[in-house]
Amino acid sequence: MDMREPSVLDYVKALLTPWKGNIPAIPSEEKGEMQDALHDVPEPKVLEVQLHEDEVTPFPKPGTIEKPIPQTIIWPWRSLAALGFALAAQQSMEPVANRLWVPGVVLYLFAAVMVLWALLSREWLLQDAPDGEPVREKLVIRQLLLWISIPLALMAFLMFGGNRFTSSNVTVWVAAITIFVAAFWVSNPERTGWIRRLSNQIRRPQWSFTLTPWMLLVAGMILLSIFFRTYQFTEVPPEMTSDHAEKLLDVGDILRGETSIFFVRNTGREPLQMYLTAAVAKLFGTGLSFDSLKIGTILAGLLTLPFIYLLGVEIANKRAGLLAMTFAGMAYWPNVISRASLRFTLYPLFVAATLYFLIRGIRRSSMNDFIIAGIMLGIGLHGYTPVRILPVVVILAVCLFLIHRHSRGHRQETLWRLVILATVGFLIFLPLLRYWVSDPDLFVFRALTRMSSLERPIPGAPVEIFLKNLWNALTMFSWDNGRVWLVSVMNRPALDVVSGALFHLGVILLLIRYMRRHHWVDLFLLLAIPMLMLPSILSLAFPEENPVLNRTSGALVVVFLIVGITLDSMISSLNLRLRSRSGKPILIGVVVILLAWSASQNYDLVFNQYKHSYSMSSWNTTELGRVIRNFSESIGYADSAYVVPYPHWVDTRLVGVNAGDPTKDYALWPRDFLETVGETRAKMFLINPNDHESIDALQQLYPQGWLKRYISRYPDKSFYIFIVPPQESRSEIPSYNEIIID
């Protein structure tokens, strides 16, 4: 028998050829000289679980950190080399002329080998995914409340006919949900709720609190995230698109009292963003404007960050959660989908909220957390169409838990909790379900046009397209995030260099940790990424739309969790090695450099590259709106200003929004020019520079008119202004022209 210890090469070969035999076991832990060093590791979760003798398993306690093998060489060069190779790999995949993927793949392979070597030598230490602190709860059903909620739910379902929210059907609906939740809610008098604790704190005659370095660090990272999400609020992005016009029209309907459940414009949309924007317009006084849309979606994007932090705390520790939140707060991907001011950012928000309460509920065997997860899921289904994949992800998480050892003794109660979670989500989904029953074609139209040949034939074999889409989606983090200028810097990786390197290292670490410890959370994190990207991957009829950052945005929650967990693991490992007086500054310097590098690149991506590409791709309706506003405030009237439509030019509804009248469409087709002859006041026509026929027609109709070219600040977006003076005064045309242009 070969008694030699397996080498790194043996381990790599075994991983690549699992069919040849078992993977060599990594040497067992030894009682080393560095046990006393473990007290320096920040925030490791050490769980002490008392088990009966027949329940003891050979696995280490969850949340513990492996003890390093004592070495004569303290410098952690393998771990740093792995990080260096990963950073070099991701840097090589940045967009340049004649970009090649081969160097990046080779460098990532080197990084993987160095990670394996560092793990084998106990230089890079893995902190296990912690198990929970299960509390034995009896499944209590308050049958009277349950029986009351059922007819209320049926009544609400019937009352939602007509596609309208009313005071009566909303009251019955909310009552059904509240009573059903009360039927299963677990009250624990031994636990003081946070509301009661806050109330007790407020009632104290003297307030006091302790300000710690950790609190200052958390506050600093929150402020950094707020800066990235709100800086240049009005300039990035600068212009609206036709989708924004549709949203503002829907919001206008709400403000006029048309409280729809499902908004049928533009192939149909769920209602949450419309009501959120209506609330913002009223609360902040911003009205029907781009600012109202931006405020709502940016707030939703910021609200996602605390849930990412809490998820990190739940599955790792506070530092991992803070790192995950910080990188997500700075990152260009979640930033641009929030600034795009459409429904996109609602996807990661409700993914993060639902997964936090779900994983917390599974780990702690908590009925209340399952119920809250169901509430988050149900509300999310009113947000953005890709959230419809989230129920499948919830089922995946529960199934993975049930088939792993961690569910021993909790399987039946977990299934019951899943049923209750699903029922709560179903009750909140009732209004949309009612609309789905009444108009199934429109409710699923948007999704079916991408998945089937409803709008156009699928261009090839569906299975082949699916596999190609899957590959393109999974490689977008390091290679190409798509060609949709609205939500991305086209043809570049979805992640910055630092986040991309840490993410790919983290995938390797999670794979290894799962093979060693078989913890369900590790496998769930890995499988959740492609599952949450399915709304993009399943674009079989339009494969050119995959990947796209908005339909894959649910996955960013898990991606940045992995980034945070990876950097936290590296910090813990380096902290054990770099124990000399100069070691701490080196460790701090490494972390600061990584954060600064990520912040610098993401700043450039959002406030330079994205801003520029968006400006060059969108139409300058703000300039047309400003010209009309100046005209109406000086020599003319809004009713005597017109925009002549032209193919693939500005959306004339957006001109009205920017001119200060969001309900007015300034379009005037050439066939209707004669209708303006009876207008005796000054008239103004805005014309596309390529529309020579309209210019000729207006000059023939109004020979006294003046034509002026407006020079746009954007290349190739100038337009013509044709001014017709009022009938009683033609001599002042030059001054009119100057006023309008200025």
Phi, psi of 306 (to 5 degrees): -60, -35
Residue 324 predicted with pLDDT over 80: yes
Give the per-residue pLDDT at 206. 74
Report the alpha-carbon angle 526-302-446, nearest 5.
65
pLDDT at position 4, please? 53
Confidence band of 59 (pLDDT split at 50, 70, 90) = very low
Average pLDDT of the residues in 680-689: 95
- Provide the token pair at 119: 């793990």
Lowest-confidence pick of 59-73, 133-147, 268-282, 683-697: 59-73
Mean pLDDT of the chain: 88
**What is the largest distance, in Å, between two alpha-carbon atoms of the chain?**
110
**pLDDT, tens digit, 9 for 90 and up, residues 518-569:** 999 999 999 999 999 999 999 999 999 999 999 999 999 999 999 999 999 9
Residue-wise pLDDT tens digits, 246-301: 999 999 999 999 999 999 998 899 999 999 999 999 999 999 999 999 999 999 99
B/e letters for 398-423, b = 16+ CB within 10 Å, e = fewer, are bebbbebebbeebeebbeebbebbbb
Share of the chain above pLDDT 70, in %: 85
Question: Amino acid identity of 176?
Answer: A
State residue 545's pLDDT score. Answer: 93
Residue boundaries of the structural domains of the chain: 8-120, 150-183+238-616, 621-741
Per-residue model confidence (pLDDT) at position 205: 77
Question: 261, 231, 709: which is closest to 442 by C-alpha?
Answer: 261
pLDDT at 54 over 70: no
Per-residue three-class SS string for 472-530: HHHCCCCCCCCCCCCCCCCCCCCCCHHHHHHHHHHHHHHHHHHHHHCCHHHHHHHHHHH
Instruction: Specify the pLDDT at position 53.
Output: 33
- Of the listed ranges 135-149, 198-212, 366-380, 454-468, the one predicted with least confidence: 198-212
Residue 16: what pLDDT?
A: 53
Cβ neighbours, 10 Å, residue 705: 17
pLDDT above 90 as % of the chain: 74
pLDDT in tens, 404-455: 988 888 899 999 999 999 999 999 999 999 999 999 999 998 888 889 888 8
pLDDT at 203: 74
> Is residue 27's pLDDT more than 60?
no
Instruction: Tell me the per-residue pLDDT of 332-372, one tens digit each, with 9 for 90 and over.
Output: 999 999 999 999 999 999 999 999 999 999 999 999 999 99
| pLDDT of 593 higher than 70 | yes
Task: Give the pLDDT confidence score for residue 322 in this predicted structure.
Answer: 97
When mean pLDDT is compared across 186-195, 381-390, 668-677, 707-716, the lowest value belongs to 186-195
pLDDT at residue 192, as a whole number: 56
**What pLDDT does residue 12 have?**
52
With a CB cutoff of 8 Å and minimum separation 6, the contacts of 471 are none
pLDDT at 32: 39
pLDDT value of residue 24? 55
Q: What is the DSSP letter of 607?
A: I
pLDDT at 31 over 50: no
DSSP state of 34: T
Least confident residue range of 164-178, 608-622, 727-741: 727-741
Distance of CA 53 to the CA centre of its chain: 45
List all residues 6 or more positions away from 435 whose beta carbon is below 8 Å from its beta carbon: 160, 163, 261, 262, 443
Task: Assign residue 237 a region (left: φ > 0; alpha: ψ between -120 and 50; beta: otherwise).
Answer: beta
Q: Beta strand pairing status for 706-710 and 641-643?
A: unpaired
Structural contact between residues 115 and 73, judged by C-beta atoms closer than 8 angstroms: no
pLDDT at 73 over 60: no
Q: CA-CA distances (angstroms) from residue 260 to 113, 292, 293, 536, 724? A: 57, 19, 18, 27, 43
Q: What is the pLDDT of residue 33?
A: 35
* Token reading at 282: 């009223």
Question: What is the reported pLDDT for 371?
Answer: 97
pLDDT at 55: 35
Query: Which H or E run includes 642?
Result: strand 641-643
- pLDDT at residue 427, rounded to an integer: 98
pTM of the full structure: 0.88
